Amino acid sequence: MEEKHYMISDAAKMVDVESHVLRYWEEELKIDIPRNEMGHRYYTDTYIHLFKEIKNLKEQGFLLKAIKTLMPGLMEGKSFSKEDSQTISETIVEENALAEPEKEKTAALKEHETNVCAEEKMEQFRLILGGIVSRAIEDNNEVLGKEVSSRVSDSVIKEMDYLLRLKEEREEERYKKFDEVLRNYQKGNKEAAAATEKKKLFKFRKKKK
């Protein structure tokens, strides 16, 4: 059966974005959209699905930069089924540490705990700082107040810098993990297909004999 072709306006409606957004994503993510004899883009169901995946990732807070790094994975799996999409979504959910309680402790959950720990640490830090500043004000010692404030500022900046660096490192790690999961999943599919094919061939040969 021939694959259906959609114009950009139809595709935009299906993906639920404006047509210029599709053009923008195409350019930014280096997606090679086929053209008809008029030079107009046409989108197949595969591309519609791909753009839906991209939109899905965008909604989960992924930047185009991050999505771009996942493009090889997304492109390899051109015929994503509903289950695939589910798998991807689940992976993202896990990676975002939204795992349900009954699920075993995943790396994402551990990561979440680290985040919580960092937040608690930050909260404690804030309380301590609050105490220091309050005391300084109570003492009404302007000089001391200034000194404390400057020390506190330095500490806050250092602490925030450290936490931000940690966060960035974790995010990068998360993107890598997600990409790896995608690749493994697709590899698994390919291997399963190859095994089925091999089995069929074996049966056929056996029958022939």
Distance CA 141, CA 147 (A): 10
When the beta carbons of 51 and 80 are compared against DNA, the nearer one is 51
Q: Which of 10, 45, 159, 171 touches DNA by CB under 7 A?
A: 10
Of the candidates 96, 75, 59, which has an alpha carbon nearest to the alpha carbon of residue 177?
A: 96
When the beta carbons of 52 and 58 are compared against DNA, the nearer one is 58
Q: Which of 21, 71, 122, 156 touches DNA by CB under 7 A?
A: 21
Q: Does 41 bind DNA (CB under 7 A)?
A: yes
Q: Does 162 bind DNA (CB under 7 A)?
A: no
Site string for DNA, 63-102 (x = CB under 7 A): xxx-------------------------------------
Closest distance of CB 112 from DNA, Å = 19
DSSP 29: T
Q: Which residue has the tokens 């995010």?
A: 171
Cross-strand pairs, 6: 43
Size of interface with DNA, in residues (CB under 7 A): 22
Using the rule CB under 7 A, give the single segment among 3-11, 45-53, 79-87, 149-157 that binds DNA. Answer: 3-11
Of the candidates 125, 133, 128, 130, which has an alpha carbon nearest to the alpha carbon of residue 150?
A: 133
33 φ/ψ angles, rounded to the nearest 5 degrees: -85, 130
Size of the chain, expressed as the number of residues it contains: 209
Distance CA 27, CA 38 (A): 19
177 φ/ψ angles, rounded to the nearest 5 degrees: -60, -45
Q: Does 23 bind DNA (CB under 7 A)?
A: yes
Closest distance of CB 92 from DNA, Å = 16
Q: Which residues bind DNA (CB under 7 A)?
A: 7-10, 17-21, 23-25, 28, 38-41, 58, 63-65, 164
